[in-house]
A and B are shown apart, each in its own frame.
Chain A
Amino acid sequence: MPADLARASAGAVMAETLKLIFSHAFIIRALAAGALISLCAALLGVSLVLKRYSMIGDGLAHVAFGALSLALVTGAAPLAVSIPVVIAAAFGLLRLSENSRIKGDAAIALISSLALAAGIIAASLKKGMNIDVYSYMFGSILAVSPADVRLSALLAAAVLTLFILFYHKIFSVTFDEDFASAAGMGVRAYNSLLALLTAVTIVIGMRIMGTLLISSLIVFPAVSAMRVCRSFRSAAVTAAVISLVCFFCGVLVSFILSIPTGASIVVINAAAFAAAFVVGKFV
């Protein structure tokens, strides 16, 4: 039966592909770090998107790019420079958004393009850096080091602990900051913690996803989950599941078709959002 044969050989090709994927240490590293980052980004994303802070992720990614380029030029350790810079930027952007939403919105756009410009100028000053810059802009799974994997494991542990221990307070602060503040929950502390974890997620995640694409890891799973979920708990869990599934599918597609990983993950996430949008019409 030709159809059976075709199916069997397709299965064999798939198995062969998966075997090939898992035979590379760098891919295992990328999968481990990427899955952990996807999980963190999705959970933090639910809170960020609902607080209308979606653009902060984008702004921070650009700041991270600027910081990484400067680190490369000066020969400093990339993470040691960019993590503190991005954390500082996260607090700054958070403060801006708290004070006035419209001004904050414009300020994020200004800061992110300024950081990108600084990064590009810095990169152009040093010859032979085009490859590195390209990989920071669009991501590269080759760039994931064992240190990145350890750092993402630590980050994921922190994010999961936060969400499990303080789930109800996170909900309360996300749903209505004024109420939470009046009730005596440390709203500012939660916002700061959220900014800190988001900053670290972005710096580590942009190695895989790229500067221009990392914010989609924060926004897409959250908005997809919001289409189909009617409670905060189910939205958080669904966003995490969507994010992980899309990450693995994206890596697989990128490997099979030889296309960039970050871009593949974004496209798969967009497809998931389209599906969630349609499903959301019927639930």
Chain B
Amino acid sequence: MRWHILKALLLKEALRHATNRGGLLLAGLLVTASLVMAALNPAGEKTTQLIGGIHHCFVHAEDFDGPFVKHLEKSLPPELRRHIFFKKLEANLAPDQAVLYPPGTGAIQIRKAADGPDGAPRYIVWIWHPAGDRSGMEIYESWFWREAYRFFHQQAIDGLNAKGLDGARLLPMPDINRDELWDNRLIEKQLREQVKALGGSLPEVEWRESPSPGSALDMTAAIATALVMFALFFTCVYLMPSLTCEERERGLLLAQVLSPARVREILASKFLFYPTFGIFLATLLAGIHNPSVLLRPFFWLALVSLAVGSLGIGMSIASLARTQRSASLAALCYMLVVAMVLVICQQNNIVWIPYLAIEFHAPQVLHAALTNQIRDYHWFNLAGCAVLAIVWVFAAAYLFRKRGWQ
């Protein structure tokens, strides 16, 4: 690498952007949006949840293979089928140990408790909801208590029948197909009292609820995350392929390659300029949202990983697209395809495909960094982001050397 060549190439890139009014305008709009958001909803305030909503609920059961969980699985209504996931709860959890759930999710934990004094089994049903969004769990809970009633009602009838009583007559089925949460919860409780009065027994159910640490989706931080990601994608996945392809289309890339500049020097200048520009813009936006984020190493690691990954994606597009128009189109198509794939995978509970996309890991790590709620799994996301970034950069360098400048 020769400094005079790198300097000339970097100067060229900077000057090209300085004369690109459209790009400057969009960058200005991003900063303005960030400033407006920061003025209306300072990050320090915790009342920043603009909209609620729990898109997924985990039914986390210790007795995963038991009849109760099987009944719940079978009785999922179609409208909730894509939103409720059943998972086995670790058996060695401490009684009060919290489980972390991703932002925008809640959970219904079914834990086993010590048997009651009469030897009857006891369960703890623990509702975990995002902080400040208790009502978001209502639809899931309503279904849960309704089906819990149906299951234990049948158990009670079977128990009474076994004692020679007419269980079905003694315990008629009330109207439980209503969506009133408190009604459903109440009649489930009343069932136990009725069964007890008839001399039967049902497992004891203790009901608890807690806000889940970290699962509240701070929408201001979510929008800030989106702006930071957009800044990096805009510079590295949109602007870079577009301007690089324009240079190729107009023969400017050839003119540079015919000068003493080596292909790797041209590549290096682009690899230096665009992530730097993107990181600068992203840092500005993140700093406006929450200046303290700039002191967190996790934020910088996340930013660098995403910038490098975006650069790899952008340069791959620039190498494959022939013209400026096709590069812009390819960048937009790429973003749309990835968004569609992630949504489809989320809706259909396909777990492994999203792990292959930087766009899956990046929002999680950036949001965690911006809200300073960094959990163990965010480090896994960061590692995933970094590995994918490296893969993309190598792919981009190979493609560019192979056919990019020609």
Q: A and B from one assembly? A: no
Which residues of chain A have a CB within 8 Å of any CB of chain B? Answer: none
Which residues of chain B have a CB within 8 Å of any CB of chain A? Answer: none
